[in-house]
């Protein structure tokens, strides 16, 4: 039987603090607050007014403008236009494509209509709640399906962890126009706000599909918010490197993964909704909610690591409220799949209606969570998910370990769908307008926390501190028994103090007291045989920085 943990340790870790900088502080977990009982644009449902949960039935009208060649100068598509997108259209040579509110862009299937914003160019797609911009299929209403056209690809000059720092879009013939990557994470590719993308994800080559929205090395001066991806033939959104900041995003009835992260992607994502259809999964692979990799080549050590931070996500799998029977050909797998040394963090979120919860694969991935460089914390994995944790690839990576981790990170694995209690999350017809706000009785109306350093270190406009003298800290094994090692990488010679505190704040060990350490790597051994089981904090202090890493003693 699953248990929910409310230990003193967990409560300390989950203690509520104000969100910092870019983040919006919430007390609730998931993408939506407690309902105010209203519907429509005036309500506190951020999906109201601009989304469409039944685009297969929408009447979009005949095209009034045809675009069939690249855009090489500043261009505006005006309100009232219905644009037919033929061929792969590159916005290039530093041009800006402005798309006014209410414009409809219809991608042609036969010519693989695709919109590609190249490095140095921009898209200015600023819709409104009353007049969103719609990118959709050019097929007739009854014939629309995932993979009708190519979707929107935004290519920037941000930092990748790929060889040479530059990569090419998969499935396109490699040219300078298909390249993404560089050295500028503060790059701007423009604005993409109040936009819907529907029925995209065409296979440009066999098994090389585009996504709904591809963010490839996009920088953090790009404005990204209020984006709905529906019926994508591959992923909803995929991030490849760069440093983006995105709020209010939906992946609805996508085929492969909802949120896919690769190649050292960094930044923040807050308020996301993902909803799956039992009849739509990826026949060529497997379908997950989150899928996150650092890179694809073992041992997956390329830098920078994939380290996007997600908070306030509501992810509803194909089983919905448990009454759905999956077809025999389905390829659904996990709500969250973290592997290949990813360092993403997921906080304050709700996962329900999947067959499996959180899958941690590879020893290096397990080490990232065990060392607290990132967290899966303050989340709900609902009890309708049959297998809460799937773990492989590390000797200390076991279900017992992650049950302990769940207690420390305030992961609720016992609450039912009824206790989560969405206002209207499980309507029989997926095309009906859902309401994933929380009933006042919901267990998710409280329990969020923004107290991890991840919420302070990835804020818009804040550059990484290049003056830090300790560039990395690793505590291992973690959990530990009678001995633990503290590995420091010193950028320059400086005086260092290393202390260990228990959960009450008592100093239980002074490892170094104002010791001068030279530039380079230093490994400190600590005898913990006299320590009681529980949580401790390893504090590393220099003249310019202070870092704290959690240590678990479990004998």
pLDDT digits over 352-361, tens only?
999 999 999 9
pTM of the model: 0.80
Beta strands 152-155 and 213-216 are parallel
63/14 Cα distance (integer angstroms): 52
Place of tokens 């290519």: 155
Q: Please, what is the angle between helix 399-408 and helix 363-370, to 10°?
A: 30
48/128 Cα distance (integer angstroms): 12
448/311 Cα distance (integer angstroms): 9
Q: Phi/psi of residue 213, each to 5°? A: -125, 125
pLDDT (0 to 100) of residue 396? 55
pLDDT digits over 277-334, tens only?
999 999 888 999 999 999 999 999 999 999 999 999 999 999 999 889 999 999 999 9
Q: Which two tokens stand for residue 498?
A: 């290393």
Q: Which two tokens stand for residue 431?
A: 């095309």
Q: Which two tokens stand for residue 487?
A: 């590995």
Q: Which two tokens stand for residue 490?
A: 């010193």
pLDDT (0 to 100) of residue 21? 64
Q: What is the mean pLDDT of residues 187-194?
A: 96
282/256 Cα distance (integer angstroms): 5
User: E strands, 88-236, where?
Assistant: 88-91, 96-99, 104-107, 114-117, 122-126, 133-137, 152-155, 167-168, 179-180, 190-198, 203-205, 208-209, 213-216, 223-230
pLDDT (0 to 100) of residue 496? 84
Question: What is the band of 461 on the pLDDT scale with cuts at 50, 70, 90?
Answer: very low
Residue 5 has pLDDT above 50, yes or no: no
Strand order in the sheet with 520-527: 470-476, 483-490, 520-527
pLDDT (0 to 100) of residue 394? 61
Say if residues 133 and 194 touch (Cβ distance below 8 Å). yes
Place of tokens 């060990």: 509
Encode 521-551: b = buried (16+ Cβ within 10 Å), e = exposed: ebebebebeebeeebbbbbbbbeebeeebbb
pLDDT (0 to 100) of residue 127? 96
Residue 429 has pLDDT above 80, yes or no: yes
Lowest mean pLDDT among 112-126, 207-221, 486-500: 486-500
453 Cβ contact partners less than 8 Å away, ≥ 6 residues apart: none
* Region of residue 459 (left: phi > 0; alpha: psi -120 to 50; beta: else): beta
């Amino acid at each position: 039987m699953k248990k929910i943990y409310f230990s003193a340790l967990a409560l300390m870790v989950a203690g509520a603090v104000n969100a910092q900088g870019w983040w919006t502080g919430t007390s609730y977990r998931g993408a939506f607050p407690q309902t105010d009982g209203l519907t429509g644009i005036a309500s506190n449902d951020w999906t109201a007014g601009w989304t469409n949960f039944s685009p297969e039935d929408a009447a979009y009208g005949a095209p009034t403008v045809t675009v069939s060649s690249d855009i090489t100068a500043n261009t505006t598509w005006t309100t009232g236009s219905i644009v037919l997108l033929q061929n792969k259209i590159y916005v290039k040579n530093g041009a800006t494509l402005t798309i006014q509110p209410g414009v409809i862009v219809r991608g042609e299937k036969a010519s693989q209509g695709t919109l590609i914003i190249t490095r140095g160019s921009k898209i200015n797609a600023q819709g409104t709640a009353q007049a969103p911009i719609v990118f959709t299929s050019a097929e007739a209403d009854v014939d629309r399906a995932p993979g009708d056209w190519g979707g929107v690809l935004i290519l920037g000059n941000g930092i990748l962890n790929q060889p040479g720092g530059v990569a090419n879009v998969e499935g396109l013939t490699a040219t300078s126009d298909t390249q993404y990557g560089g050295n500028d994470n503060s790059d701007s590719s423009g604005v993409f706000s109040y936009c819907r993308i529907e029925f995209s994800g065409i296979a440009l080559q066999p098994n090389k599909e585009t996504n709904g929205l591809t963010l490839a090395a996009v920088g953090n001066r790009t404005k990204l918010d209020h984006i709905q991806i529906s019926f994508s033939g591959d992923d909803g959104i995929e991030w490849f490197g760069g440093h983006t900041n995105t709020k209010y995003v939906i992946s609805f009835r996508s085929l492969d993964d909802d949120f896919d992260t690769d190649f050292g992607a960094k930044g923040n994502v807050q308020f996301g909704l993902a909803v799956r259809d039992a009849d739509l999964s990826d026949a060529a692979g497997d379908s997950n909610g989150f899928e996150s990799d650092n890179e694809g080549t073992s041992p997956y050590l390329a830098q920078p690591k994939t380290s996007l931070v997600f908070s306030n996500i509501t992810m509803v799998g194909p089983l919905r409220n448990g009454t759905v029977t999956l077809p025999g050909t389905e390829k659904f797998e996990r709500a969250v799949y973290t592997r290949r040394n990813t360092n993403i963090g997921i906080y304050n979120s709700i996962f329900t209606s999947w067959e499996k919860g959180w899958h941690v694969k590879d020893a290096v991935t397990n080490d990232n969570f065990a060392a607290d460089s990132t967290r899966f914390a303050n989340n709900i994995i609902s009890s309708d998910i049959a297998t809460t944790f799937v773990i492989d690839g590390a000797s200390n990576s076991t279900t017992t370990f992650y049950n302990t981790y769940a207690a420390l990170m305030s992961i609720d694995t016992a609450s039912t769908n009824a206790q989560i209690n969405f206002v209207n999350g499980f309507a029989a017809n997926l095309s009906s307008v859902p309401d994933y706000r929380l009933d006042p009785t919901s267990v998710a109306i409280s329990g969020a926390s923004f107290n991890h350093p991840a919420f302070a270190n990835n804020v818009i406009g804040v550059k990484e501190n290049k003056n830090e003298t300790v560039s990395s800290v690793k505590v291992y094994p973690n959990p530990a028994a009678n001995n633990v090692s503290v590995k420091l990488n010193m950028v320059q010679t400086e005086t260092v103090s290393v202390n260990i505190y228990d959960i009450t704040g008592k100093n239980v060990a002074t490892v170094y007291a104002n010791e001068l350490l030279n530039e380079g790597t230093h490994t400190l051994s600590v005898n913990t045989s006299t320590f009681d089981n529980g949580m401790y904090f390893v504090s590393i202090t220099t003249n310019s920085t202070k870092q704290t890493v959690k240590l678990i003693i479990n004998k």
